């Protein structure tokens, strides 16, 4: 299970507009809490869809373009303000006034309306459901850059895709010098072609995204397997 955390700031402002002891006001707040949860679920879904479609981790503007702005969906809730530099943390979605009501707080934090998100330690975590999205997220996070369409001329190390193949750290136009290369259908089991420089297998975080048990071959034909902690040569 891949867990991702995304940061945004939304809260219900009930200081003056609502009295939680009044039935009608309480029902309105509960509806707004439901809308917040729905919006958080939408963010998790949009985040995963963007990764699968664009092979990059989305920024705030891209998420908003997919699902809109929360301020247009929920009365009394601020708009989505900011994501952290890694786009991986979402802050708690209800204000202190609402959180002080134990039953509403428990409702917000429960999993009754949550499929892709859950609350832990005052933050909203969400789950990437698709296994390839989980792999891409790890790969993008470890490489620190997007995966683009391979250009005709390559003069510096890039991550790119071509004909359903992914090249990580490819340095030349002939696609012969790279950290790893594999067909997208083989991302989990292999075969994955990797650099014959075994020192890179330990030094480069990109290799951490390979699934345990995947079969690997280096560019000289040596056979390896990915273990929990390393890449092991098979003899």
pLDDT digits (tens, 9 = 90+) for 68-100: 765 555 543 433 434 554 456 777 778 777 888
Angle at 12 between CA 11 and CA 13, to 5 degrees: 110
- Contacts of residue 161, Cβ cutoff 8 Å, sequence gap at least 6: 55, 147, 148, 149, 150, 167, 184
Alpha helices in 55-196 (DSSP H): 60-67, 96-99, 102-109, 131-143
pLDDT at residue 14, as a whole number: 43
pLDDT at position 78 is 37
Query: Does the pLDDT at position 187 exceed 70?
Result: yes
Of 78, 105, 129, the position where a domain reaches its end is 129
Counting Cβ atoms within 10 Å, is residue 187 exposed (0-12), middle (13-18) or buried (19+)?
buried
pLDDT score recorded for residue 16? 43
Q: Is 88 in the same domain as 202?
A: no
pLDDT at 70: 57
pLDDT for position 80? 40
- Cβ atoms of 111 and 41 closer than 8 Å: no
Do 40 and 8 have their domain in common?
yes
Do residue 159 and residue 123 come from a single domain? no
Domain extent, residue 211, equals: 145-233
**Does residue 139 lie in a domain region?**
no
Among 68, 99, 129, residue at a domain's last position: 129
pLDDT at 10: 53
Which distant-in-sequence residues (6+ apart) come within 8 Å of 177 by Cβ? 170, 171
Shared domain check, 122 and 58: yes
Rounded mean pLDDT, 215-227: 96
- Tell whether 220 and 165 lie within a shared domain: yes
Cα distances from 231 to residues 91, 196, 206, 209, 227, in angstroms, run 37, 12, 12, 12, 6
The last residue of a domain, from among 99, 129, 159: 129
Q: How far apart are CA 69 and CA 139, in angstroms?
A: 29
Same domain, 107 and 16: yes
Quick one: 162 and 87 in the same domain? Answer: no
Q: How confident is the model at residue 2 (pLDDT cuts 50, 70, 90)?
A: confident
pLDDT score recorded for residue 198 = 92
Query: Where do the H-state alpha helices sit in 74-231?
Result: 96-99, 102-109, 131-143, 198-203
Q: Does residue 93 lie within any of the structural domains?
A: yes
- DSSP symbol at 71: G
Say whether both 63 and 173 belong to one domain.
Answer: no
99-132 pLDDT, tens digit each: 888 999 999 999 999 999 999 888 888 889 999 9
The tens digit of pLDDT for each residue in 51-65 reads: 999 999 887 778 878
8 Å CB contact between 171 and 151: no
What pLDDT was estimated at residue 111? Answer: 94
Any domain includes 206: yes
What pLDDT, on a 0 to 100 scale, did the predictor assign at position 190?
A: 97
Residue-level pLDDT at 195:
96
Does residue 86 fall inside a structural domain? Answer: yes
Q: What is the pLDDT of residues 25-34, one digit of tens each?
A: 888 888 888 9
Average pLDDT, the chain: 84
Q: Which token pair is 16?
A: 């003056």
Question: Which pTM does this prediction carry?
Answer: 0.83
Of 107 and 145, more confident: 107
Question: Is the residue at 137 inside a domain?
Answer: no
Domain contains 28: yes
Within this chain, do residues 41 and 117 fall inside the same structural domain, yes or no?
yes
| Whether residues 118 and 38 fall in one domain | yes
Q: What total number of domains does the chain contain?
A: 2
What pLDDT score does 17 carry? 61
- Indicate whether 70 belongs to any domain: yes
Are 13 and 119 contained in the same domain? yes
Q: Both 61 and 102 in a single domain?
A: yes
- The residue among 83 and 181 whose pLDDT is bigger is 181
């Amino acid at each position: 299970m891949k867990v991702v955390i995304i940061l945004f700031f939304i809260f219900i402002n009930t200081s003056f507009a609502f009295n939680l002891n009044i039935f009608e006001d309480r029902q309105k707040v509960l509806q707004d809490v439901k809308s917040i949860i729905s919006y958080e679920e939408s963010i998790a879904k949009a985040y995963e869809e963007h990764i699968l479609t664009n092979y990059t981790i989305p920024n705030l503007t891209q998420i908003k373009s997919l699902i809109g702005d929360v301020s247009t969906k929920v009365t009394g809730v601020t708009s989505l303000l900011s994501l952290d530099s890694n786009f991986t943390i979402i802050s708690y979605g209800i204000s202190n006034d609402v959180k002080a009501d134990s039953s509403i707080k428990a409702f917000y934090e429960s999993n009754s309306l949550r499929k892709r998100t859950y609350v832990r330690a005052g933050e909203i975590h969400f789950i990437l459901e698709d296994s390839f999205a989980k792999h891409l997220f790890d790969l993008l996070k470890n490489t620190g850059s997007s995966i683009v369409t391979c250009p005709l001329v390559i003069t510096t190390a890039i991550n790119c895709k071509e004909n359903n193949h992914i090249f990580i750290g490819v340095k030349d136009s002939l696609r012969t010098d790279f950290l790893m290369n594999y067909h997208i259908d083989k991302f989990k089991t292999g075969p994955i072609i990797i650099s014959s420089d075994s020192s890179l297998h330990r030094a480069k975080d990109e290799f951490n995204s390979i699934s345990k048990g995947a079969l690997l071959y280096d560019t000289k034909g040596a056979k390896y397997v990915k273990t929990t902690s390393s890449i092991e040569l098979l003899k």
